[in-house]
Chain A
Amino acid sequence: MKITSITDLDAIRQACFSRLYAPDGVKVNVGMASCGIAAGAQASYNRALQEFSTKPDISISQTGCIGFCEMEPLVEIVAPGKPRMMYHHLTEDKIAEAINGYLANDYHKKWILGQMRDPRNILEDDIANPQAPVTPAEGFPFLEDIPFYAKQTKIALRNCGYMDPDSIEEYIARKGYYAFLKALTQMTPADIIKNIKTSGLRGRGGGGFPTGIKWESCAKHSGDRYIICNADEGDPGAYMDRSILEGDPHSVLEGMLIAALAIGSKQGFFYVRNEYPLAVKRLITAIKEAEKAGLLGDNIAGTNFSFHVKISRGAGAFVCGESTALMSSLEGKVGRPRAKYVHTVEKGFRDGPSNLNNVETYANVPPIILKGGDWYASMGTANSKGTKVFSLVGKINNTGLVEVPMGINLKDIVFGIGGGVPRKKEFKAVQTGGPSGGCIPARLLDLPVDYQKLAEVGSIMGSGGMIVMDQDTCMVDVARYFLDFLKEESCGQCNPCREGIKQMLEILTSICQGNGKEGDIELLEELGAMIQRFSLCGLGTSAPNPVLTTILYFRNEYEAHIRDKKCPAGVCKALFHYEIDPEKCTGCGSCARKCPQEAITGDKKKPHSLDQSKCIKCGICYDTCKFDALVIR
């Protein structure tokens, strides 16, 4: 059926209501994003199909990522008149038992994360909470109240984990494409741009450029204009764009359609990272479904507006996240950035005016159009409006994707939502902004997170990766790690970046190997300042950030490496050794059994000893010991 009006959307929304909120029988929703599948969701899904597909009153369905990656595989079970239960770690061996238990109203408390109070998204405030008439199950917390979810506000992630990403009907049922049809039938391009400007939305990919201003300047330039979606999410540790594409591809498509209306474009492109095959697959389905519904293609919804999109896949080059490099790569060429004397909104892809935003930015657009720019601007801080998705990873208990209002402080994210550092280790730093960002130390944990505050402490928002580091993370090694990454990824055309990063890396490597000398820190600072000032593109100008911030906040660790020839965290192999503390060693023997070198010996229940000549410092014993008897010296 071709959709031509909001009335058509209403009809689909009504028809699909029961599928989402009041299924005929029991509905099992398995979280099937890449990370869930890696944790075993596919096997759980298959098992559920195998056991229950012949039963008429049970349906098995897929959803995107619900965000709490630590708890994958996550499975939600719902039935009319019953609580919506979210199960965690529901591997294939447990899923049948969990479903049978749910059928018998005998919920498995140990496997349940919580029950959902309200499954609606922020756009569905025109209907009553479908879960309201249901009596909650006693003794189970509401999902919305557990610390991981309590402080979140989901706008970009509004549908991820709540619907089948391959179904356009379910997207419409959650008020999808209403914003686009509103923009198409009731708004002028100037109205749309004004709304986006009022919202204060800034680019979520790293640069943070105001989206409305970008759209406005692109619309001013004549020629064939292009709408491009940057899905080349290259920052290691950030995966929100993958999650949105895998869990809610239509929201991005709808955002691009609205941008195309505002700017006056007929052709759009997705540039997706090659490492994201599932995102590409779901996008292809979404595009086909939207074309079938008449929301994409020629004469959309019976108007003279036409818009086509094409998917291009990247091939593993970090620098292609930079706008000019990305556009060059889209043209089938080597992805090298160019100087931006002329901006891409004037001359970009095929030398035409090109508007590039990232996945998360586009996903924010439909809610802004439906609820108004003022609504969006009411959240956040003076210079950073709305919400931001962060991926909380590294040495943290609750790994996952979280969407919070701008201005929330780091402590609330790391300790409130993230649950702090595992194994009672000491929190050391949080790294934001990927290889272009910096490391923020424990004493700055009260920092409110917005574009400006992060820049003030030497880091950047970036695409939203937050990598938590604890006492076992060596900050010099982290700086070396990022430079090693950037050396590989530098495109090599400008000298400061190509040679400068290499020189800095050599100094850092020698420090980590125990060959650091006085003056190295100052030399790193000098080189860093030079690279920042003279590099051609953003990769180079931000490359020294991880080094400069670690020097700023963890200078003592650099000095320990250089002067005392020690690595306090026990990472740089040349600068530490393990010892067994005879006071703490219980002689349990678990380290000795695992040591690949047979370097640990001792009698049962008596303190063991470690032969330094055999030890290769692999760290297996250190990770194995439950009594903290292995110490770093």
Chain B
Amino acid sequence: MNSSVSEASLELDYRELDRIIEEDYQNDKENLIMILQAIQKTYNYLPKPALSYLAVKIGVPVSQIYGVATFYSTFSLEPRGRNIISICLGTACHVRGGDRIHETLVDQLQVHDGQTTSDNRFTLESVRCIGCCSLGPVIKVNEDMHGRLKQDEIQSILSRYE
């Protein structure tokens, strides 16, 4: 889906990038995955200019960084919404009706996995098991866990997030 954050308008803070790459992770290419995680934490996604900059700093080709960024499911090359909904599709949640919760979310938000609503309010992501199986089916909105969910509770939960 489209997004109101346009990449062109994004100003990268190179001092912050330097701090992450040099101080936190010692310019070490073995730390690539964790550097990407730190960048994503700062910007909510992986801005392409940041990846080009990183490539030069740690001496790893952009192609390889792109490979890593697309191989691992945590990373997003697109800007994400203000609230991240992670729906657990682990086996325990699946047998307890996780799919139906997933359908309800897709239906109410009108987006599929990995997409962001047009008002930039929510990004829907599916994850495989958060390890809270006793509470299944579970969704996580940002850092909040919502367990033992029923389909008719979704709307009121979503309304709590702006």
What residues of chain A have their CB less than 8 Å away from a CB belonging to chain B?
34-35, 37-39, 69-70, 72, 233-239, 242-243, 274-276, 312-318, 329-335, 391, 393-395, 399-400, 431, 434, 465, 467, 469, 473, 478, 481-482, 485, 489, 491, 594, 596, 618-620, 623
Is B30 positioned at the interface, with any CB of A under 8 Å from its CB? Answer: yes
- Expressed in whole angstroms, the Cα–Cα distance for A482 and B95 within the complex equals 12
What 1/0 flags go to B23-50 for Cβ under 8 Å of A? 0000011111110110000000000000
B92 contacts A393, CB within 8 Å?
yes
A315 contacts B37, CB within 8 Å?
yes
Query: Which A residues lie within 8 Å of B30 (CB)?
Result: 330-332
Query: Which B residues lie within 8 Å of A596 (CB)?
Result: 151-152
Known: A239-B129, A481-B91, A620-B151; 12 extra A-B contacts, CB below 8 A, are A35-B131, A35-B135, A70-B134, A236-B89, A236-B129, A237-B90, A275-B130, A332-B31, A393-B136, A394-B96, A394-B133, A596-B152
A473 contacts B95, CB within 8 Å?
yes
- Expressed in whole angstroms, the Cα–Cα distance for A446 and B125 within the complex equals 40
B150 contacts A312, CB within 8 Å?
no
- Expressed in whole angstroms, the Cα–Cα distance for A549 and B128 within the complex equals 22
B133 contacts A34, CB within 8 Å?
no
Looking at the assembled complex, report how far the CB atom of B61 sits from the nearest CB atom of chain A, in whole angstroms.
12
The total of chain B residues at the interface (CB under 8 A) is 45
Closest to B148 in A: A39
A317 contacts B92, CB within 8 Å?
no
Q: Which of B2-10, B69-77, B116-124 contacts A (4 or more CB under 8 A)?
A: B69-77
Looking at the assembled complex, report how far the CB atom of A465 sits from the nearest CB atom of chain B, in whole angstroms.
7
- Expressed in whole angstroms, the Cα–Cα distance for A316 and B36 within the complex equals 13
A35 contacts B132, CB within 8 Å?
yes
B131 contacts A276, CB within 8 Å?
yes
Q: Could you give 18 example pairs across A and B, Cβ below 8 Å?
A: A35-B133, A38-B132, A234-B129, A236-B91, A236-B92, A275-B130, A315-B37, A315-B72, A317-B71, A331-B30, A332-B30, A334-B67, A334-B68, A400-B134, A478-B94, A481-B94, A596-B151, A620-B152
Which of A234, A400, A485 is packed against the most chain B CB atoms within 10 Å? A485
- 8 Å CB contact of B128 from A236, A242, A335: A236
- Expressed in whole angstroms, the Cα–Cα distance for A620 and B151 within the complex equals 7
- Expressed in whole angstroms, the Cα–Cα distance for A596 and B31 within the complex equals 49
Closest to B60 in A: A332
A34 contacts B151, CB within 8 Å?
no
A275 contacts B131, CB within 8 Å?
yes
What 1/0 flags go to B49-87 for Cβ under 8 Å of A? 000000000001000100110011111000000000000
Which of B28, B32, B91, B130 is packed against the most chain A CB atoms within 10 Å? B91
B68 contacts A237, CB within 8 Å?
no
Is B138 positioned at the interface, with any CB of A under 8 Å from its CB? Answer: yes
Looking at the assembled complex, report how far the CB atom of A460 sits from the nearest CB atom of chain B, in whole angstroms.
15
Closest to A279 in B: B131
Could you count the A-B residue pairs with CB atoms below 8 Å apart for me: how many are there? 141
B131 contacts A313, CB within 8 Å?
no
Closest to B58 in A: A332
A313 contacts B37, CB within 8 Å?
yes
Query: Which A residues lie within 8 Å of B36 (CB)?
Result: 315
Contact flag A399-B134 (CB < 8 Å), given A274-B37, A332-B29: yes
Query: Which B residues lie within 8 Å of A332 (CB)?
Result: 28-33, 60, 68
- 8 Å CB contact of B95 from A235, A243, A467: A467
Query: Which B residues lie within 8 Å of A482 (CB)?
Result: 91
Looking at the assembled complex, report how far the CB atom of A616 sits from the nearest CB atom of chain B, in whole angstroms.
9
Looking at the assembled complex, report how far the CB atom of A21 sits from the nearest CB atom of chain B, in whole angstroms.
29
Query: Which A residues lie within 8 Å of B60 (CB)?
Result: 332
A469 contacts B95, CB within 8 Å?
yes
- Expressed in whole angstroms, the Cα–Cα distance for A481 and B89 within the complex equals 9
Closest to B75 in A: A315
Contact flag A34-B91 (CB < 8 Å), given A315-B74, A620-B150: no
Contact flag A334-B71 (CB < 8 Å), given A312-B34, A313-B33: yes
- 8 Å CB contact of A467 from B33, B64, B75, B91: B91
Which of A35, A395, A489 is packed against the most chain B CB atoms within 10 Å? A35
- 8 Å CB contact of A399 from B68, B104, B133: B133
Query: Which A residues lie within 8 Å of B90 (CB)?
Result: 236-237
Looking at the assembled complex, report how far the CB atom of B135 sits from the nearest CB atom of chain A, in whole angstroms.
6
Query: Which A residues lie within 8 Å of B104 (CB)?
Result: 618
B132 contacts A316, CB within 8 Å?
no
- Expressed in whole angstroms, the Cα–Cα distance for A551 and B31 within the complex equals 44
Q: Which of B86-117 contact A (CB under 8 A)?
A: 89-92, 94-97, 100, 103-104
- Expressed in whole angstroms, the Cα–Cα distance for A564 and B95 within the complex equals 23
Query: Which A residues lie within 8 Å of B73 (CB)?
Result: 315-317
Query: Which B residues lie within 8 Å of A37 (CB)?
Result: 145
Contact flag A393-B134 (CB < 8 Å), given A38-B147, A313-B37, A332-B32: yes
B95 contacts A317, CB within 8 Å?
no
- Expressed in whole angstroms, the Cα–Cα distance for A274 and B72 within the complex equals 11
Closest to B68 in A: A334
B97 contacts A619, CB within 8 Å?
yes
Is B127 positioned at the interface, with any CB of A under 8 Å from its CB? Answer: yes
Query: Which A residues lie within 8 Å of B34 (CB)?
Result: 312-313
B71 contacts A237, CB within 8 Å?
no
Contact flag A239-B131 (CB < 8 Å), given A335-B71, A393-B92: yes
Closest to B125 in A: A316
Contact flag A623-B128 (CB < 8 Å), given A391-B133, A400-B134: no
- Expressed in whole angstroms, the Cα–Cα distance for A37 and B74 within the complex equals 23
A619 contacts B100, CB within 8 Å?
yes
Looking at the assembled complex, report how far the CB atom of A314 sits from the nearest CB atom of chain B, in whole angstroms.
8
Contact flag A38-B33 (CB < 8 Å), given A315-B72, A395-B96, A618-B100: no
Contact flag A395-B135 (CB < 8 Å), given A312-B34, A315-B72, A316-B72: no
In the A-B complex, the 4 residue pairs with the smallest Cβ-Cβ separation, listed nearest first, are: A69-B134, A236-B90, A315-B72, A239-B131
A394 contacts B128, CB within 8 Å?
no
A467 contacts B135, CB within 8 Å?
no
B131 contacts A242, CB within 8 Å?
yes
Query: Which B residues lie within 8 Å of A481 (CB)?
Result: 91, 94
Looking at the assembled complex, report how far the CB atom of B106 sits from the nearest CB atom of chain A, in whole angstroms.
13
Looking at the assembled complex, report how far the CB atom of A544 sits from the nearest CB atom of chain B, in whole angstroms.
17
Contact flag A312-B33 (CB < 8 Å), given A237-B92, A391-B133, A481-B91: yes
Looking at the assembled complex, report how far the CB atom of A477 sits from the nearest CB atom of chain B, in whole angstroms.
9
- Expressed in whole angstroms, the Cα–Cα distance for A434 and B32 within the complex equals 29
Looking at the assembled complex, report how far the CB atom of B22 sits from the nearest CB atom of chain A, in whole angstroms.
16
B74 contacts A316, CB within 8 Å?
yes
Query: Which A residues lie within 8 Å of B75 (CB)?
Result: 315
